Amino acid sequence: MRGTTVPPGMCCRPVKTGELPLHRLEVPAPGAVPFAVGSFDAVGPLSRAEFPHRHTFHEIVLVTGGTGAHVVDLTRWELSPPHLGVVTPGQVHHWEASGLTGSVVLFTDDFLFDHPADRETLRRLRERPWLRLDRAEHDRTARLIAELEEEFRRGGEDGESVLRALLHVLIVRAGRLPGTPSAPAPAGARAVAAQFAQQAEKSELGLWSVRAHAERLGVTPGYLTEAVKAATGRTAAELVREARIQEAKRFLLRTNLSVRQVASRVGFADPAYFCRFFRRETGLSPGGFRRTGDAAPKIHHDCGTPSIAAG
């Protein structure tokens, strides 16, 4: 699975000084399905980890109870169950919650090869990864996750294909929920734009310019710029700057790296230039951001959508 899964007891990559923990999907044996589903308790304590960390896998979570918040990257999403949440590889998240109940679905990117369009849906969902469910949506989602869990426990030679099919249905239905960002308009260059989006999420690649992305994709910077603009309505340069700033914010708030070290991690040889870039994009110096966080904290309450009545 190209390093996306590990044997039992090796769920986290060793952490270097100043780096965030990186969780990988643990499988019971070589060749096992890179997929897991169950309650928070069944999946294990790391499913409700209270420290910021990244994943190499996707996570879909149905929260049915609890108080507090789920923090994804730099946004705090307050709990008012039921919710459907999505975390994609590379995002930083943690829980600040008590009494957390619900179900967790974990799977690697490779597990989506039967339905590659699901990757685009998950990328859309990561823009608003915390969705409030009404009674009908909750019941429908809970039944589907229960089917996934039953099939996962059952196993068998045909089990993997059934899991892939049920997961596809879950992702498609999640993409239809109110509040999910709409899909980009069809375009001939959409495949290139989708590959660019996938690359931009992988900070470990160290691609901090449109030219670097274009070279890796085997296209010209001009073509990439046109393709991304046609598919998303935004420029490739804008999205690269956004990814660069987001990664810098993660390091500043979640690690003890110096500003010089953060600058190097996001591709700046000159820390002073990095400071000017950061201030231009955010309105704050790196040090000021580290002390205060976002000038306007993003706290989401998700009010207004009916929830399941008690009892």
Could you tell me the pLDDT band of residue 177, with boundaries at 50, 70 and 90? Answer: confident
Report which secondary-structure segment, H or E, holds 169. helix 159-176
User: pLDDT digit string (tens) for 113-171?
Assistant: 888 888 888 988 887 889 989 999 999 999 999 999 999 998 877 889 999 999 999 99
Domain boundaries, the chain: 5-183, 190-292
Q: Which residue(s) pair with 107 in the sheet? A: 35, 58
- Closest to 183 in 3D by CA, of 238, 123, 129: 123
Please tell us whether the domain made up of 190-292 is placed in CATH 3.40.50.620. Answer: no
Domains 5-183 and 190-292 share a fold: no
| Fold assignment, 5-183 | Jelly Rolls (2.60.120)
pLDDT computed for residue 13 by the predictor:
56
CA 310 to centroid of chain Cα atoms: 31
Q: Is 152 helix (H, G, I), strand (E, B) or coil?
A: helix
pLDDT computed for residue 272 by the predictor:
94
- Return the structure tokens found at 214: 């274009």
